[in-house]
Amino acid sequence: MSEQRSAFPRRDAEGRVLTLGDLLGISLAGWLIGMLALVLFDWAFAGLGAGSFGHTNGWLAVILPAWLFWDDFRAWEFGAARVVAALVAAALAVVAGLLLAGLAGGLAPLATGGLAAAGFTVVYAVLWFRGVHWLARRTG
């Protein structure tokens, strides 16, 4: 199995992310970029009088990590392993995100949703990576 070393995250010949650290690192970087973009847009719109700052939905910060997860999902060959791993990881990641949002309920929607998106990103990355590798070994 050859791997591509010139890009981050590192991927194997089929395009799958090689390590959990790479998946977590790039997905959290995507979350951070999403949060920074949301803060910038929210600040700009609040400055123009189109609302008050902090009322943008922070869950939108999950867009870039979700794109990465979708790309990794597509890199795995079709089969039950990738579907089951993705569904279980998504369900548990949404629950984790909602729990974090509930715990931070007194904050502005930008902060609450941002924390929820971060929780979703971490839980999905860990469960997806571990789950798809474990299931792929079991199912062949």
Digit-coded pLDDT (tens) for 64-74: 999 999 999 98
Alpha helix stretches (DSSP H) within the chain: 20-47, 63-75, 80-103, 109-139
- Whether the CA torsion 76, 23, 3, 134 is positive or negative: it is negative
The string of pLDDT tens digits covering residues 56-110 is: 888 899 999 999 999 999 888 888 888 989 999 999 999 999 999 999 888 988 8
**CA atoms of 15 and 72, how far apart (whole Å):** 7
Q: State the pTM of this model.
A: 0.86
Give burial (CB, 10 Å; 0-12/13-18/19+) of 73: middle
